[in-house]
Amino acid sequence: MDMSGFDYDLFVIGGGSGGVRAGRVAAESGAKVALAEEFRMGGTCVIRGCVPKKLMVFASQFGPAADAARAFGWQNNARGDFDWTGTFRPTLHAELDRLEGIYTKNLGNSGADIFHARATIKDAHTVELSTGEAFTAKHILVATGGRPFLPDTPGAQELGITSNEVFNLDDFPKRILIVGGGYIACEFACIFNGLGSHVAQWYRGAQILRGFDDEVRGFLAEHIHERGVDLHVGLEVEQMERRDGAILVTGTDGRSEMFDQVLFATGRTPNTDGLGLEDVGVKLGRGGEVVVDDYSQTSVPSIYAVGDVTNRINLTPVAIREGMAFVETVFNGNPTKPDHENVASAVFTQPEYGTVGLSEEDARAREKIDVYCAAFRPMQKSFIGMNERVLFKLVVSQETQKVLGCHIVGDGAGEMIQLVAIAVKMGATKADFDRTVAVHPTMSEEIVLMKSPTRSD
């Protein structure tokens, strides 16, 4: 027990990226730290999110690449069948086990105590574990993340799966329906299409990728459809039933189709159920998220929360930054707000979409803007007669000439946007982009070659 009379200076609930980083850094700075994780260390991102998803993205690109290789002159380069059960899935699970081990080891090396148990909050300074043990802590950090959910659609609870289950499927689905229009739905539609499944994607809204730049949304919908995904907007699942070893799905427009799997990517919900938060006075929002101030502090002063459970910006690097800012604020005496401005992100569809800053619509709602846009067939695609185009777009303030937003669609857009994000974060102007000499021949040179606005307010 420490000098303050508590068992721990910090008790972290949740072993994902945000919680582990906060616990590790606090322990390295001399705090006595414990962390409880009820499932697997690494959380959504490492175990059932970004990492396995990106590995599936890589796998899904090799089939189409074999077709492209033939067009470039590689003979006898036939595309084979994708081996999910014998090769990919065991290799994937071995990699996730390795990463889980690293997370556990790094946290343990910092001196933190790790409990593989479910933790609930009993009062402002007490945590109780599913093992029956209870500990007191000066500060409690809730980093329990979020989870996908299955809707109330008839048959969905019994027959549907979410992104949580998709990496553990015993058999590779030859026919799969993806329900939803957010980035997770679009990514999995492209992944399974690339792996050789027949893929349908149904979304109830008017256009996929709500919240992103409108021009990009239309551009990507067109490309996803052209690549072979049977994409329908304005369409919902009316009912699902087991039929002949498969799933018969009926849509709200009367269509019915047979699928081997139906994956719902229709939203995520914060993991606050049964944690005891409301009982101790922690305020939750309408969606069940933990309400926090700029310093990640809840309505109970000793309890903080970071990451997806707060439903601010639900991205792994943001959770890590929030965890670091929490440690600075609480343990290093340096009040620090996590910076949520100009956070770049990537959508790993095929083609990829990288974005930083404001969409054209959000920027126009704030001020007068110039929009620079270029869409073209890159030489790698045009050489073999592929119609796929790339899109480069800059949203620029008329008054300050600062680049308010950048949007890139094309192979490697996620890699490109990381580097553009540095310039945007520094407040680069359109003139700064113009002064930069192009790297030729590349796709990305277009970002510094767009001379005249496509449209202005």
Binding-site positions for FAD: 54, 308
How is 82-102 classified by DSSP, letter by letter? --IIIIIHHHHHHHHHHHHHH
Buried b (16+ CB within 10 A) or exposed e, 82-106: bebeeebbeebeeebeebbeebbee
Please give the annotated binding residues for NAD(+), written as ranges.
180-187, 267
Give the number of other CB atoms < 10 A from CB of residue 416. 21
Of 93, 225, 340, 440, which one is the catalytic site residue?
440
CB-based contact 396:455 (threshold 8 Å): no
Q: Residue 406's closest CA among 356, 342, 447, 347?
A: 356
Tokens linked to 281? 């006075």
- For helices 89-109 and 17-28, angle between their N-to-C axes, nearest 10 degrees: 30
Reported as type and span, the H/E element at residue 158 is helix 156-159
Reported as type and span, the H/E element at residue 216 is helix 214-226
CB-based contact 126:2 (threshold 8 Å): no
Please give the annotated binding residues, written as ranges.
54, 180-187, 267, 308
Active site residue 440: yes
Q: Is 259 helix (H, G, I), strand (E, B) or coil?
A: strand
Catalytic center residues: 440
